[in-house]
Amino acid sequence: MVTDDTSHSEGPAGGWGSLAGIATTLLSERPSPAVIDTLTHQNKPRGFMCVSCAWPKPANYHPFEFCENGAKATLWELTSARCTPGFWDTHKVTPLRDWKDHDLEKLGRLTHPLRYDAASDSYRPVSWEAVFAEIGAILKPLDPDSVVFYSSGHAGLEAAYLYALLARLYGTNNLPQSSNMCHETTSVGLKKVIGSPVGTVVWEDLEACDAFFFFGQNPGTNSPRFLHPLQDAKTRGAKIVTFNPLREQGLVSFVNPQDAVAMATGHETVISDLYLQVKSGGDIAAMLGLCKAIVEADDAAQKAGKARVIDIAFIEQHTSGFDDFMAKIRYTPWVQIEQESGLSETDLRRAADIYMAAEKAIGVYGMGLTQQAEGHLNVAMLVNLLLMRGNIGRLGAGICPVRGHSNVQGQRTVGIAEKIELIPVDKLKALFGFEPPLKDGMNITAAAQALFDGRVKAFICLGGNLLRAVPDQTRMEAAWPAQDLTVMISTKLNRSHLYPGKTAFILPCLGRAEIDTQATGPQTVSIEDSFSHIHGSIGKRKPPSEHVKSELAIIAGIARATLPGQPKVEWERWTGDYALVRDLIEQTYPEDFRDYNARLYTPGGFYRGNPAHERIWKTETNKAIFTVPDVLSANGFEDRPGRYRLVTLRSNDQFNTTIYGYSDRFRGIEGTRDILFMNPQDIDAAGYSVGDVLRLVTDVEDGHRRELSGLVLTPYDIPVGTIAAYYPECNVLMPVTHHDRLSKTPASKSIPVRIEKPLTR
């Protein structure tokens, strides 16, 4: 449904709309009453931890400690639908490429291990013994550097640790992860400037903070439980300032679906006190503007003999690079800041006033900052802004990257990393008696490039839907099947399964909400949330089929068939008792995981600590570093006539490539995802009409044509020159070379595109 009204949103976030959203999924997935009961155990001690996002689970939880999207994710996983081998009697693989992502996953849970049969172009059931034997036989003779072990942030800490160990025992650090497309900018950029690759904020900080500054993170859709502490913060008088090109409903207002009075009266909390619609890629300039206003206020305070606005004592003791940064601020004129950010000096000064009035401030960010060609500078600029007033490493203040997958951060903590500097090589040597590979492995960008060049022979995927999530999707799909082996450890059918390698397996695994029984009985897994707290998670539901294995058991099966036996490597024992794997994790990372098994069910999780939180800066200068941005725009390309900045968006009815449905109710879009959001002025200027069906073409000349047709032009409250459309549909448009300079994170929030109007509709 398309209207020509740009104020699309359907009232506040949360409220009755979110209950209706859960109800739609309930109806479509037909779960048993017991499944619905399972939801009440979600995110609570000795319950199971949500399979959706990584938002922390508080010690003092609500009766229903889940949100619309967490409930949808659980119901989607515990669906009564099954994709059994019988499906392949009537379906071939190639025609399924025309199916929508929604329809593929909607088939239900995978029930049997499957092997691709080229003769019939379909998958056939196969025994687990045969699976492992064949994978082992193919992997053994391959050069380990030609094999890639991808992991999406779904799997728990125990599986992730063993998966990384499998890759290293095999001989490679090729361990790219979904965070390479997501918060790698944080892992690299934040580490550089504060010495920690993760955020410093913990739950108590949310409760003590006076002002939240949101940059490119959308809590209403992507971390809805965040709206509760925000609502509490507003009630006690805290301020919220948002920088986002789109007016996102969850950052405008919220009705708490767990508050009966609010629900009955429709009482909504206004979330943002100030909402600034920055240009896509305009945040470096916007934050520089805030810093400039602060410096001017500080100058005035000094002249008047008043207390300084800048926390100079903190800066002198704890930071380096301040003088150079000050010079940059002083010499950058307001007109340039306005030009690059798309915001007025007046508005930026208003934001700065709120920042200066707050004793304690938190900087929150997400993909709007990380998925940019200069994403690391975005992150560094946010750190600059916080450092000006000593807003890192004290109660109520800090930096808060909001992570994506439920265990994406934790997987990195326990060894899923391609960079050797992140690996405790000596510990691994001592524990397992082998020589770990010492060469850096490939991240996603490098792996994609190597695949195009024919240098990758086998890809193992622990979860995820890499072929749909990755840039340059069309080129990936062309190159992928040439591999000797593709192995997909998955819960549901997805597009990545439809491009089988010469030998190809789909291996069905348990979901986190399911009971995982091994030799010593039912097992617990664990995850790390966005605030570096570790939680045990106990599955409650019956597995979808007796032929499904746990991720650990699948990893161990592959390992035993592929690697020579080693006395200190005991796959069978470890998979029989996951507590033993936790012991290994503790021995490898003793500081982070002290008393791991004993502390597993700590309410709210146990904190593994963060030096930057204590103002210990593990950087090159042993201080927090002020960074001088060498450019003011983060998008990495020039503006020119006819070129737009394309933002790729998530709807509230999807979890990454999992499309629950076609209702993006916060943006007023129903029944379709084939939408191009555009400012009405741009529509007029280009001579288009609302409802036109248009084609996007990537405006990069590298010999590859990238296009996406069939998008319906929809007016929206978005800055001139910035347009938006949905991810993952847009991934055919993203060149793999368009990424953050430092971390190589694909720049999915600002892709240079042109618009074409096809002659026929």
Ligand X SMILES: Nc1nc2c(c(=O)[nH]1)N[C@H]1C(S)=C(S)[C@@H](COP(=O)(O)OP(=O)(O)OC[C@H]3O[C@@H](n4cnc5c(=O)[nH]c(N)nc54)[C@H](O)[C@@H]3O)O[C@H]1N2
* Residue 330 CB neighbour total at 10 angstroms: 12
Footprint on residues 622-651 left by ligand X (CB under 6 A): 647-648, 650
Per-residue binder mask for ligand X (CB under 6 A), 496-525, x = binder? -------------x-xx-------------
- Given Mo ion, ligand X, none, residue 752, with its beta carbon under 5 to 8 Å by kind, binds none
Work out how close the CB of 157 gets to ligand X at its nearest, in angstroms, rounded to a whole number.
13
User: β-strand 458-462 against 147-151: which pairing, if any?
Assistant: parallel
Gap between the Cα atoms of 142 and 460, Å rounded: 13
- 489 is an interface residue for ligand X by CB under 6 A: yes
Per-residue HEC secondary structure of 204-215 comes to HHHHHCCEEEEE
- 437 is an interface residue for Mo ion by CB under 5 A: no
User: β-strand 675-678 against 707-715: which pairing, if any?
Assistant: parallel
User: β-strand 722-726 against 82-83: which pairing, if any?
Assistant: unpaired
**Nearest to residue 711, comparing CAs of 665, 673, 679?**
673
Give the relative orientation of helices 334-341 and 345-357 as an angle to the nearest 10 degrees: 100
* Residue 549 CB neighbour total at 10 angstroms: 22
- 373 is an interface residue for ligand X by CB under 6 A: no
* Contact yes or no for 177/412 (Cβ under 8 A): yes
Gap between the Cα atoms of 204 and 206, Å rounded: 5
Q: Which stretch binds ligand X (CB under 6 A): 140-148, 204-212, 400-408, 577-585?
A: 400-408
- Given ligand X, Mo ion, none, residue 123, with its beta carbon under 5 to 8 Å by kind, binds none
Nearer to Mo ion, 182 or 343 (CB): 182
* Contact yes or no for 121/94 (Cβ under 8 A): yes
Gap between the Cα atoms of 231 and 207, Å rounded: 11
- 746 is an interface residue for Mo ion by CB under 5 A: no
Nearer to Mo ion, 182 or 227 (CB): 182
Give the relative orientation of helices 334-341 and 283-303 as an angle to the nearest 10 degrees: 150
- 217 is an interface residue for ligand X by CB under 6 A: yes
- 182 is an interface residue for Mo ion by CB under 5 A: yes
Q: Which stretch binds Mo ion (CB under 5 A): 128-136, 252-260, 401-409, 493-501?
A: 401-409
Footprint on residues 324-383 left by Mo ion (CB under 5 A): none
- Given ligand X, Mo ion, none, residue 245, with its beta carbon under 5 to 8 Å by kind, binds ligand X
Q: Which residues on adjacent β-strands are paired with residue 462?
A: 151, 489
Q: Which stretch binds ligand X (CB under 6 A): 255-263, 383-391, 401-409, 576-584?
A: 401-409
Work out how close the CB of 388 gets to ligand X at its nearest, in angstroms, rounded to a whole number.
19
- 540 is an interface residue for ligand X by CB under 6 A: no
Structure tokens at 139: 């992997």
Nearer to ligand X, 184 or 205 (CB): 184
Peptide linkage before 728 cis (omega within 30 of 0) = yes
- Given Mo ion, ligand X, none, residue 200, with its beta carbon under 5 to 8 Å by kind, binds none
- 562 is an interface residue for ligand X by CB under 6 A: no
* Contact yes or no for 373/634 (Cβ under 8 A): yes
Q: Tell the residue number behind the tokens 């979860």, with chain if given.
A: 463
Nearer to Mo ion, 9 or 443 (CB): 443
Question: Residue 118, SS3?
Answer: coil
Q: Which residues on adjacent β-strands are paired with residue 751?
A: 646
Nearer to ligand X, 242 or 332 (CB): 242
- Given ligand X, Mo ion, none, residue 406, with its beta carbon under 5 to 8 Å by kind, binds none
Nearer to ligand X, 158 or 283 (CB): 283
Nearer to ligand X, 378 or 391 (CB): 378
- Given Mo ion, ligand X, none, residue 657, with its beta carbon under 5 to 8 Å by kind, binds ligand X
With CB under 6 A as the contact rule, the residue among 367, 513, 569, 585 that binds ligand X is 367
- 404 is an interface residue for Mo ion by CB under 5 A: yes
The residues, ordered by sequence, that sit 6+ positions from 318 with a Cβ below 8 Å of its Cβ are 387, 390, 393, 615, 617, 623, 624
Work out how close the CB of 645 gets to Mo ion at its nearest, in angstroms, rounded to a whole number.
21
* Contact yes or no for 370/744 (Cβ under 8 A): no
The residues, ordered by sequence, that sit 6+ positions from 300 with a Cβ below 8 Å of its Cβ are none
Q: Which stretch binds ligand X (CB under 6 A): 86-94, 422-430, 489-497, 516-524?
A: 489-497
- 719 is an interface residue for ligand X by CB under 6 A: no
Q: Which stretch binds ligand X (CB under 6 A): 27-35, 200-208, 276-284, 698-706?
A: 276-284
Per-residue binder mask for Mo ion (CB under 5 A), 141-180, x = binder? ----------------------------------------
With CB under 6 A as the contact rule, the residue among 658, 679, 698, 714 that binds ligand X is 658
With CB under 6 A as the contact rule, the residue among 122, 173, 178, 319 that binds ligand X is 178
Per-residue binder mask for ligand X (CB under 6 A), 449-468, x = binder? -------------xxxxx--
Per-residue binder mask for ligand X (CB under 6 A), 2-41, x = binder? ----------------------------------------
Query: What are the angstrom distances between the C-alpha of 650 and each of 105, 217, 663, 723?
Result: 17, 11, 11, 14
**Residue least distant from Mo ion (Cβ):** 404
- 152 is an interface residue for ligand X by CB under 6 A: yes
Structure tokens at 671: 């029944």
Work out how close the CB of 88 gets to ligand X at its nearest, in angstroms, rounded to a whole number.
17
Work out how close the CB of 677 gets to ligand X at its nearest, in angstroms, rounded to a whole number.
10
Nearer to Mo ion, 156 or 500 (CB): 156
Work out how close the CB of 721 gets to ligand X at its nearest, in angstroms, rounded to a whole number.
12
Gap between the Cα atoms of 420 and 656, Å rounded: 29
Residue 564 is classified by DSSP as P
* Contact yes or no for 393/657 (Cβ under 8 A): no
Q: Which stretch binds ligand X (CB under 6 A): 273-281, 297-305, 347-355, 419-427?
A: 273-281
Footprint on residues 54-93 left by ligand X (CB under 6 A): 69
Total of residues contacting ligand X (CB under 6 A): 64
**Nearest to residue 338, comparing CAs of 292, 295, 385?**
292
Question: Residue 346, SS3?
Answer: helix
DSSP per position, 10-58: -SSEEHHHHHHHHHHHHHHH---HHHHHHGGGBTSTTSB--SSB-----
**Nearest to residue 617, comparing CAs of 314, 403, 326?**
314
Per-residue HEC secondary structure of 275-311 comes to EECCCCCCHHHHHHHHHHHHHHHHHHHHHCCCCCCCC
Q: Where are the beta strands (DSSP E) in 565-638?
A: 606-607, 624-625
* Contact yes or no for 513/74 (Cβ under 8 A): yes
Structure tokens at 136: 């082992």
Interacting residue ranges for Mo ion, rule: CB under 5 A = 182, 404
Interacting residue ranges for ligand X, rule: CB under 6 A = 51, 53, 69, 105, 152, 154-155, 178, 181-182, 215-218, 221-223, 243-246, 248, 278, 280-281, 283, 366-368, 371, 402, 404-405, 462-466, 469, 489-492, 494, 509, 511-512, 551, 647-648, 650, 652, 654-658, 727-728, 730-731, 734, 748-749
